[in-house]
């Protein structure tokens, strides 16, 4: 697998709010920089009187084995912020060892 891109996997940190509730915050996420392969999968556009005009673009991201990523994470790729939209899939090689990890992501504009 050729991983010719560099991405930053971002995970929210847990904070305690003024009411002593623990919640996730994206103000200062933990980050991990890894090599990757990012490919567009498709897109669609929502147009309607009741909805604002919106473009949704789907991407698939291939990551090296051992990369820690969850469905709640975000991935920064160049100037695009991808929201992970699937559970990670861990793919095995013919030897049975984990070869790479893939996640589906979405970008919403509008």
Q: What are 83-103's pLDDT values in tens digits?
A: 999 999 988 888 888 889 999
Taking CA atoms, 89 is separated from 28, 45, 64, 98, in Å, by 27, 27, 12, 10
Quick one: how far is CA 59 from the chain centroid? 9
Asked whether residue 18 is domain-assigned, the answer is: no
Domain CATH code at residue 98:
2.40.10
Check residue 105 and give its pLDDT.
Answer: 95
Asked whether residue 19 is domain-assigned, the answer is: no
Q: How far apart are CA 6 and CA 71, in angstroms?
A: 19
Q: Looking at the 3D structure of the chain, how many domains does it have?
A: 1
The pTM (predicted TM-score) of the whole model is 0.84
> How many CA atoms are closer than 13 Å to the CA of 26, on its beta-carbon side?
9
- Paired residues of 11 in beta bridges: 30
């Amino acid at each position: 697998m050729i991983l010719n891109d560099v991405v930053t996997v971002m995970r929210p940190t847990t904070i305690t709010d003024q009411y002593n509730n623990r919640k996730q915050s994206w103000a200062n996420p933990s980050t991990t920089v890894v090599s990757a392969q990012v490919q567009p999968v498709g897109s669609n556009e929502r147009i309607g009187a009741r909805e604002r005009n919106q473009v949704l673009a789907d991407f698939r991201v291939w990551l090296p084995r051992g990369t820690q990523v969850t469905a709640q994470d975000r991935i920064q790729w160049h100037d695009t912020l991808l929201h992970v939209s699937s559970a990670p899939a861990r793919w095995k090689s013919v030897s049975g060892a984990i070869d790479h990890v893939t996640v589906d992501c979405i970008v919403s504009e509008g």
